[in-house]
Amino acid sequence: MEAIYNFTEKDLKDKLTSNGFPGYTGRQVFEWVYKKRVSNFDSMSNLSKKLKEFLRKSFSITKLKLIKKEKSTDKTEKYLFELEDGMAIEAVLIPEKERSTLCVSTQVGCKFKCLFCVSGQDGFKRNLTASEIIGQYFAVADLKAPLKVTNIVFMGIGEPLDNFDNTIKSINILMNSAGINFSKRRISISTCGLVPEIKELAKLKLGIKLSVSLHSAENDIRDKLMPINKKYPIEELMLATREFSKVSKDLVTFECVLIEGINTSVDDARKLAKLLNRVNGKANLIPYNGSSPEIKAPTQEQLDIFTQELKDRSAFFTLRKSRGQDINAACGQLKVKYLLDQ
Ligand code: SF4
């Protein structure tokens, strides 16, 4: 049996027509599953007996099992879900006045070993299926109803572009107007900087947003923070993000966690401003506030000087706080520091 949430509308249509059912049944089943959220094939009242029987034998409608939920003092909520093979993943919901942003995971573990990221430290276990990604959305939407999830960021555990096919499949399912109908402008992918996949993503013209974990505009520093930089240095990364931005007609966001003594000097600010102006991007600055004793956030004075340098150079940036610190919702990346203004 296959998990039906792994199927886009086209996949369903192909599967059904290749088994002798009319093409229009693909749309009918898609609507029952994703729009009406029916979890029992027998309740799909406009389908023939034969089709319901086929669906029962071929597909399962699975739900993720919630094993733990934590709530931060700032109202951020972290959910731990168990997968069918016993592995676990996290999703995080950040409620704000006018929106609620859900951060979903795309892999169990991660290959990329970014310096301050907990997800990378235990290594990579496996990719999530599209069903497991969509399952995080459904599980949180159900738990929080009638509150609506208004934004989705692919920024939880794992590198979304390293699980390219399933990430794209889940986005196509989310955006389909016959189903969930999630707005493309409210979906954002965050990457550590996989250049070929950013170019691939640009070609798909999905209309979604892109953010890149940059952290420094200098290769020497970024090499240390994010080993992927040795494979795809900043110059190559910028060419790819420009390509994306040209196609999407939108600014790419560059995430920069500010760490005293590493990336907070006047020179760092000037280099960052130059980069932002060159690629027509905006920076999302987050002063470090993790728990490592060796790493410190910049002082307010350093922050003021840094941001003034950006202003003086007309660089576009926002300065924000990490959310859900007390429940480690910010583990994963320097990461789950949510792009709340996207
Ligand atoms: S920051 Fe992202 S890409 Fe880097 S190790 Fe963590 S999950 Fe992987």
Please state, in angstroms and rounded to a whole number, the distance separating the CA atoms of residues 198 and 187.
Answer: 15
pLDDT in tens, 246-274: 999 999 999 998 989 899 999 999 999 99
> Coil, strand or helix: which one is 202?
helix
Residue 33 tokens, joined? 């599953």
Residue 103 annotated as catalytic:
no
Residue 113 tokens, joined? 């070993």
Asked if residue 214 and residue 104 are part of one domain, the reply reads yes
Q: Which residues of 81-112 are buried (b: 16+ CB within 10 A; e: fewer)?
A: bebeeeeebbbbbbbeeeebbbbbbbbbbbeb
Task: Report whether pLDDT(143) > 80.
Answer: yes
Residue 309 annotated as catalytic:
no
Q: Please give the pLDDT value at position 324.
A: 65
Q: Is residue 338 part of a domain?
A: no
Please state, in angstroms and rounded to a whole number, the distance separating the CA atoms of residues 7 and 154.
Answer: 19
Asked if residue 47 and residue 183 are part of one domain, the reply reads no
Task: Read off the pLDDT of each residue in 13-17 and give the average, rounded to a whole number.
Answer: 97
Q: Is residue 274 part of a domain?
A: yes
Q: Is residue 339 part of a domain?
A: no
Mean residue pLDDT of the chain comes to 91
pLDDT in tens, 148-165: 999 999 999 999 999 999
Asked if residue 91 and residue 16 are part of one domain, the reply reads no
Asked if residue 144 and residue 16 are part of one domain, the reply reads no
> Coil, strand or helix: which one is 196?
helix
- Whether residue 130 contacts residue 171, with contact meaning beta carbons closer than 8 Å, is answered with no
Domain count, the chain: 2
Quote the domain boundaries for residue 33. Answer: 2-60
122/72: higher pLDDT = 72
Percent helix / strand / coil, the chain, rounded to 5: 40, 20, 40
Asked if residue 37 and residue 119 are part of one domain, the reply reads no
Q: Is residue 70 part of a domain?
A: yes
Domain finish residue from 60, 80, 98: 60
Cα torsion for 210, 340, 277, 223, to the nearest 10°?
A: -70
Q: Is residue 247 part of a domain?
A: yes
- Whether residue 76 contacts residue 329, with contact meaning beta carbons closer than 8 Å, is answered with yes
Asked if residue 79 and residue 53 are part of one domain, the reply reads no
The CATH number linked to 132 is 3.20.20.70
% of the chain residues with pLDDT over 90 = 80
Q: Please give the pLDDT value at position 322.
A: 66
**Any atom of ligand 1 within 6 Å of the Cβ of 114:** yes
Asked if residue 42 and residue 71 are part of one domain, the reply reads no
pLDDT in tens, 82-117: 999 999 999 999 998 889 999 999 999 999 988 877
Q: Please give the pLDDT value at position 73.
A: 87
**Any atom of ligand 1 within 6 Å of the Cβ of 337:** no
Q: Please give the pLDDT value at position 115.
A: 80
126/330: higher pLDDT = 126
**Any atom of ligand 1 within 6 Å of the Cβ of 110:** yes
Domain finish residue from 60, 81, 102: 60
- Ligand 1 pocket test: pick from 107, 198, 333 the residue with the most ligand atoms within 8 Å of its Cβ: 333
Dihedral (CA of 137, 140, 142, 146) sign? negative
The CATH number linked to 7 is 1.10.150.530
Q: pTM (2 decimals)?
A: 0.92
Q: Please give the pLDDT value at position 335.
A: 39
Q: Is residue 342 part of a domain?
A: no
Asked if residue 244 and residue 197 are part of one domain, the reply reads yes
Q: Is residue 341 part of a domain?
A: no
Task: Report whether pLDDT(333) > 50.
Answer: no
β-pair partners for 284? 255, 318
Asked if residue 155 and residue 50 are part of one domain, the reply reads no
Asked if residue 249 and residue 173 are part of one domain, the reply reads yes
Asked if residue 322 and residue 192 are part of one domain, the reply reads yes
Residue 70 burial class via C-beta count within 10 angstroms: exposed 0-12, middle 13-18, buried 19 and up: middle
Per-residue pLDDT band at 133 (split at 50, 70, 90): very high
Q: Is residue 336 part of a domain?
A: no
Task: Report whether pLDDT(341) > 90.
Answer: no
Asked if residue 113 and residue 42 are part of one domain, the reply reads no
